[in-house]
């Protein structure tokens, strides 16, 4: 049953049809969770005893940073599938994810800079975490540029997959940078379940925001992938059948 499902999902026609139905199921809970997370983080959560209300930017910054890493890993995994099994939809998912990942990475850098000014006294420092996150943004932009520079989309998809696999080495560097080097960036707080460093009134809305961001990514990547599939399959019979009733 599972093998059959993945075999069907590898079909551009089936993917286009089923993804259109899935998008609302991601967007509606995304909106509800985001509203709940923002209300909990900006209204209900108490001020931090050291940072006051300025810490509230973490409800955008932290989920954005998590998403910047998560999406790149998805791209690398899709790249492996595309290279090994030559599944076109894996290439579509990889390139459709790149602009979303770049947006989350830019948002993480921007909100981090806004938080860093009152905390560190500077908009930017060449901290290990910040620098490696900036490199991640350049990797995303490199993927987008590389795909746009190659006319043959199958060749472009393979080139993007290789670049994503080479760049994935940066992900553990970002994650462990605060442990490997002496940095200004705050260390882990969420993962410290034995000695939690964040109160539940702050943790719950933060996790709600993180989940809403993942649902947002799922919805948007499906919408972008649908457009990419139509572009690649524009000469196929099933795409023509979608256009004919309107002409």
Q: From first to last of its 247 residues, what are the pLDDT tens digits of the chain?
A: 545 555 566 789 999 999 999 999 999 999 999 999 999 999 999 998 878 888 999 999 999 999 999 999 999 999 999 999 989 999 999 999 999 999 999 999 999 999 888 877 888 888 888 999 999 999 999 999 999 999 999 899 999 999 999 999 999 999 888 777 666 566 566 555 455 568 899 999 999 999 999 999 999 999 999 999 999 998 889 998 887 755 4
Residue 7 is predicted with a pLDDT of 58
Angle, helices 58-85 vs 88-120, to 10°: value is: 150
Distance of CA 108 to the CA centre of its chain: 11
Number of domains in the chain: 1
Kindly state whether residue 28 falls inside one of the protein's structural domains.
no
Q: Provide the 10 A C-beta neighbour count for residue 122.
A: 10
Kindly state whether residue 73 falls inside one of the protein's structural domains.
yes
Given a contact cutoff of 8 angstroms between Cβ atoms, the answer to whether 60 and 75 are in contact is: no
Cα dihedral: 20, 23, 25, 30 (round 10): -170
Kindly state whether residue 38 falls inside one of the protein's structural domains.
no
Given a contact cutoff of 8 angstroms between Cβ atoms, the answer to whether 102 and 72 are in contact is: no
Residue 125 is predicted with a pLDDT of 84
Kindly state whether residue 26 falls inside one of the protein's structural domains.
no
Kindly state whether residue 16 falls inside one of the protein's structural domains.
no
Kindly state whether residue 125 falls inside one of the protein's structural domains.
yes
Question: How far apart are the C-alpha atoms of 121 and 163, rounded to whole Å?
Answer: 36
Residue 10 is predicted with a pLDDT of 75
Residue 193 is predicted with a pLDDT of 44
Residue 116 is predicted with a pLDDT of 84
Domain boundaries, position 206:
59-226
Is the full-model pTM beyond 0.85? Answer: yes
Helix (H/G/I), strand (E/B), else coil: 223:
helix
- How far separated are the first and last CA of the chain, in Å rounded? 39
Kindly state whether residue 242 falls inside one of the protein's structural domains.
no
pLDDT digits (tens, 9 = 90+) for 58-98: 999 999 999 999 999 999 999 999 999 989 999 999 999 99
Kindly state whether residue 115 falls inside one of the protein's structural domains.
yes
């Amino acid at each position: 049953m599972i093998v059959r499902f993945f075999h069907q999902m590898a079909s551009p026609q089936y993917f286009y049809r089923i993804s259109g139905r899935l998008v609302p199921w991601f967007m509606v809970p995304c909106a509800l969770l985001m509203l709940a997370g923002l209300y909990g983080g900006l209204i209900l959560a108490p001020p931090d005893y050291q940072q006051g209300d300025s810490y509230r930017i973490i409800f955008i910054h932290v989920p954005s940073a998590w998403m910047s890493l998560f999406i790149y890993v998805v791209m690398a995994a899709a790249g492996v599938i595309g290279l090994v099994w030559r599944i076109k939809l894996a290439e579509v998912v990889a390139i459709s994810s790149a602009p979303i990942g770049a947006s989350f990475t830019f948002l993480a850098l921007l909100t981090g800079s806004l938080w860093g000014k009152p905390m560190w006294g500077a908009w930017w420092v060449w901290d290990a975490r910040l620098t490696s996150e900036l490199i991640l943004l350049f990797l995303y932009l490199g993927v987008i540029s590389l795909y746009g520079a190659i006319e043959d989309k199958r060749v472009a998809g393979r080139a993007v997959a290789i670049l994503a696999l080479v760049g994935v080495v940066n992900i553990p560097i970002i994650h462990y940078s605060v442990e490997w080097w002496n940095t200004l960036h705050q260390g882990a707080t969420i993962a410290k379940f034995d000695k939690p460093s964040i109160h539940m009134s702050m943790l719950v809305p933060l996790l709600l925001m993180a989940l809403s961001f993942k649902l947002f990514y799922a919805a948007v990547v499906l919408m972008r992938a649908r457009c990419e599939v139509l572009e690649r399959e524009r000469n196929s019979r099933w795409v023509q059948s979608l256009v004919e009733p309107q002409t």
